Chains A and B, each alone.
Chain A
Amino acid sequence: MTAADGLEARYRRLLRWYPPSYRGRHEDEILGVLMAAAQPGQRRPGARESLDLLWSAQRIRIRMILRGADSQPWADALALTGVLLPLLMLLLKLTEFLYSGARYGFGTPADILVGAYGQPGAYARSFQLNPYSVALTGNVTDALTKGPLPAFFLAVLVCLGWRRAAAVLAAFLPLAFLGISLTSGYTLLAGPRGDVTLYAFALEALILLITPGIARGWRVLQWRPTILLAAATVAAGAGMNGGLWPLFNAPLVPPIGLAGRLALRGQIPHGFLGRLFGVGAGQWGDWLLYKGTLVAVIAVALIAMLAGSPVSRRVLFLLAVPFALGAVIYLCSLISPPPPASAGNALAVSPLLLFLLAAVVFWLGHGRRAGQDVPGRPAAPGDA
């Protein structure tokens, strides 16, 4: 192999970072320019040249996603995620409400409003146990993050096809939470569930602005990935509220539950993993029995998604973003001694602000020129 052949092969490897459709049109052309600009006898691409190609490839990729052109899977995945995210959030709240409510009572409308699922009287108690302003602030922030109404209204707006109204609401929710929390001196680095919800709202705002349209999301919606995601969401909702405890303690299956608990109890030492999953010493057997099954259901559903279409994989990636950010915040909250409140707040707020900033930048750059969505729901799910 000559020096030129080796150099060409290495350039071709670098050009693989470009989107396939772009590479199909321009690979030979760019390669010609690279080879013409190469020094005589050059065997390897220079570091600057390589970085320039990698960086430019990412710019082209992002541009194609934003244009929605030549990037069908990403454009479809963004549109589909924009539709699915609020519906899945609503399903999660509904699961929590029904699952906990059935066991402990549904409570008053105010309890439901602040997301105190299975805790009847929690709303009224908060005013008895705390000063009025503290209780009120806590209830408002709970209503924004744990309550079902924000997800409900967002889902309604998305179903109506009102993209901009939905984007404004999705952006307003985390901003309102931040405004209330920071002016009240709350530490944000505390509740992973709340963090994930806020990141999900901010991501939804961004997606709604950059997506080709809600109508396209409905058109590309398919039953199989939707059912898998719904199953994973219901399993997560049940898992976060006691898992399969009612099932394994039901009268019909006590021997199974007892045998399982005896077999698994105390088999795993308590330590960091215990803290990570909120499991007490000697309770791993119970955890595996009551919640491990649900984790397995979620894992199977997600793996099936990964093995699905390119659009499914991308949807899963986008949906994982708020969870990944929430996981980082949660891991940071486990640090002992805890970081200063200001550092924790900055860490928790940064992704939110980045999402919202990106949404504003995109809206100023592209969104205002975008055409109007067709109102309503143009196609039935699954007809794609």
Chain B
Amino acid sequence: MNKRPLQEPTFLLLTALAQGPQHGYGIMADVERMSGGRVKLRAGTLYAALDRVAAEGLVEADREEVVDGRLRRYYRLTQLGGDRLAAEVERLQHNAAVAAKRLELRHRATGNLA
């Protein structure tokens, strides 16, 4: 499996699909909500990202619906995509734990010095 760290928009895109299938606009809104408004995927960027992760086998089309005369295609995470997201979560958690521990040691050291 590809061990390169995921870029944040890709990570958020996969996270948006972790709970269940979503359509394009749902993913956009979810990514913005999860990132606290910091990451806003535009339609072009979203579909370029979906095209890339679909080519890598991380997501796939789930089903299609027509709502108000417009096509909605839902996407879901594949098994590979789930594994990739889990590996990334583990990597981030590990890094965060190491960073937190180092900061704690630093605080203790500076506290002792004070």
Interface residues of A (CB under 8 A from B): 22, 26, 28-37, 48-49, 52-57, 59-60, 63, 67
Q: Return A8 CB to nearest CB of chain B, in Å.
A: 10
- Give the contacting residue for B55; candidates A31, A52, A59, A67; CB below 8 A: A67
**Neighbouring A residues of B28 by C-beta, 8 Å:** 33, 37
Task: Supply 20 A–B pairs (Cβ within 8 Å), ascending by A.
Answer: A26-B47, A26-B73, A29-B47, A29-B73, A30-B43, A30-B44, A32-B25, A33-B23, A33-B24, A33-B25, A33-B28, A37-B28, A37-B43, A49-B43, A52-B42, A56-B47, A57-B44, A63-B51, A63-B52, A67-B55
Q: Are B72 and A29 in contact (CB under 8 A)?
A: yes
6 tightest CB-CB pairs across the interface, nearest first?
Answer: A56-B44, A32-B70, A52-B44, A52-B42, A53-B44, A56-B48
**B8-30 contact mask (Cβ, 8 Å, vs A): 1 or 0:** 00000000000000011100100
Does B53 reach chain A (CB closer than 8 Å)?
no
Interface residues of B (CB under 8 A from A): 23-25, 28, 42-48, 51-52, 55, 67, 70-73
**Neighbouring B residues of A56 by C-beta, 8 Å:** 44-45, 47-48
**Neighbouring B residues of A33 by C-beta, 8 Å:** 23-25, 28, 43, 46-47
Complex CA distance for A249 and B80, rounded to whole angstroms: 74
Q: Are B71 and A34 in contact (CB under 8 A)?
A: no
Known: A37-B28, A63-B52, A67-B55. A55 touches B44 (CB 8 A): yes
Q: Are A52 and B45 in contact (CB under 8 A)?
A: yes
Q: Return B28 CB to nearest CB of chain A, in Å.
A: 7
Q: Which residue of A lies closest to B24 (CB)?
A: A33
**Neighbouring B residues of A52 by C-beta, 8 Å:** 42-45
Complex CA distance for A32 and B27, rounded to whole angstroms: 13
Q: Return A193 CB to nearest CB of chain B, in Å.
A: 41
**Neighbouring A residues of B48 by C-beta, 8 Å:** 56, 59-60
Q: Are A31 and B25 in contact (CB under 8 A)?
A: no
Complex CA distance for A67 and B28, rounded to whole angstroms: 27
**Neighbouring A residues of B23 by C-beta, 8 Å:** 33
Q: Which residue of B lies closest to A59 (CB)?
A: B48
Known: A33-B24, A36-B25, A52-B42. A28 touches B47 (CB 8 A): no
- Give the contacting residue for B24; candidates A30, A49, A63, A67; CB below 8 A: A30
Q: Are B43 and A34 in contact (CB under 8 A)?
A: yes
**Neighbouring B residues of A63 by C-beta, 8 Å:** 51-52, 55
Complex CA distance for A67 and B67, rounded to whole angstroms: 33
**Neighbouring A residues of B52 by C-beta, 8 Å:** 63
- Give the contacting residue for B70; candidates A26, A35, A54; CB below 8 A: A35
Q: Are A32 and B42 in contact (CB under 8 A)?
A: no
Q: Count chain B CB atoms within 10 A of each CB in A54, A56, A67 and give the residue with the most.
A: A56
Q: Return A273 CB to nearest CB of chain B, in Å.
A: 45
Q: Which residue of B lies closest to A28 (CB)?
A: B71
Q: Which residue of B lies closest to A22 (CB)?
A: B51
